[in-house]
A and B are shown apart, each in its own frame.
Chain A
Amino acid sequence: DTAVSQTPKYLVTQMGNDKSIKCEQNLGHDTMYWYKQDSKKFLKIMFSYNNKELIINETVPNRFSPKSPDKAHLNLHINSLELGDSAVYFCASSQGGLYGYTFGSGTRLTVV
């Protein structure tokens, strides 16, 4: 199936740990994103990557480090996890930066 896939779907971890979330798209898109949806359901953009280059970083703490090894992958590594990092993280992709985004099904991160 053509899609944006994220792993894992659920992630429960302790404060202070380091964790990664992987994202892959097979749509041939050149732009990928990470969004965070908090408990109040607000969806906020974190990063945009176009052709593996970072183009938007929305004042995300340095503990969050995205990595794009190629156009089809955008992984998110989080160091020293904090309680406030608990949220659902969505990966998305698009062709160019303007038109329809395709979102993954989300990774629910719980920091205890």
Chain B
Amino acid sequence: DAKTTQPPSMDCAEGRAANLPCNHSTISGNEYVYWYRQIHSQGPQYIIHGLKNNETNEMASLIITEDRKSSTLILPHATLRDTAVYYCLGGSNYKLTFGKGTLLTVNP
């Protein structure tokens, strides 16, 4: 499984875009990049995943570099409820491996 590196913490102003980076230089060619978040000890919540192309859903956008060694999760208009630990992870079948994640704090 890919080893991922994320900053331990980030701040963002409410209403602004939050851009969360992730390095996954060891990701293999057929390994997806996933993003999850965990709000205050609740169960992790799936956000988005991608392989090569950029992806967008109702929660966020995922930008993956052409060499697939890094990605950025974008929350276009962060709200206070987006304060959480965000995990970027690679995974193989039946085994997602979580790292330490980034604590995103959205400030009023």
A86 within 8 A of B: no
- Give the distance in Å from the alpha carbon of A31 to the alpha carbon of B96 in the complex: 13
Cβ-neighbour of A101 out of B32, B42, B46, B100 (below 8 A): B46
A66 within 8 A of B: no
- Give the distance in Å from the alpha carbon of A42 to the alpha carbon of B85 in the complex: 11
Cβ-neighbour of A56 out of B36, B85, B94 (below 8 A): B94
* Minimal beta-carbon separation of A100 from chain B (angstroms): 4
Give B88-101 as 1s and 0s: 1 = Cβ < 8 Å from A's Cβ atoms. Answer: 00011111111010
A105-B93 in contact (CB<8A): no
Cβ-neighbour of B43 out of A31, A50, A98, A105 (below 8 A): A105
Which residue of the partner chain B has the closest CB to A108? Answer: B41
* Minimal beta-carbon separation of B38 from chain A (angstroms): 8
A99-B49 in contact (CB<8A): yes
- Give the distance in Å from the alpha carbon of A4 to the alpha carbon of B32 in the complex: 24
By the criterion of a CB under 8 Å from any partner CB, how many residues of chain A are at the interface?
Answer: 28
B96-A103 in contact (CB<8A): no
Chain B interface helix/strand/loop/mixed? strand
B21 within 8 A of A: no
A48-B43 in contact (CB<8A): no
Interfacial chain B residues near A56, Cβ < 8 Å: 94-95
A50-B94 in contact (CB<8A): yes
B95-A88 in contact (CB<8A): no
Contact A41 B94, CB 8 Å, known A99-B49, A101-B46: no
Cβ-neighbour of B93 out of A35, A44, A90, A97 (below 8 A): A97
Chain A CB count within 10 A is highest, among B43, B46, B92, B96, for B43
Interface residue ranges, B against A (CB under 8 Å): 32, 34, 36, 38, 41-46, 49, 85, 87, 91-98, 100
9 A–B pairs (Cβ distance < 8 Å), ordered by A? A31-B94, A42-B98, A45-B96, A97-B94, A98-B93, A99-B49, A101-B44, A101-B46, A103-B45
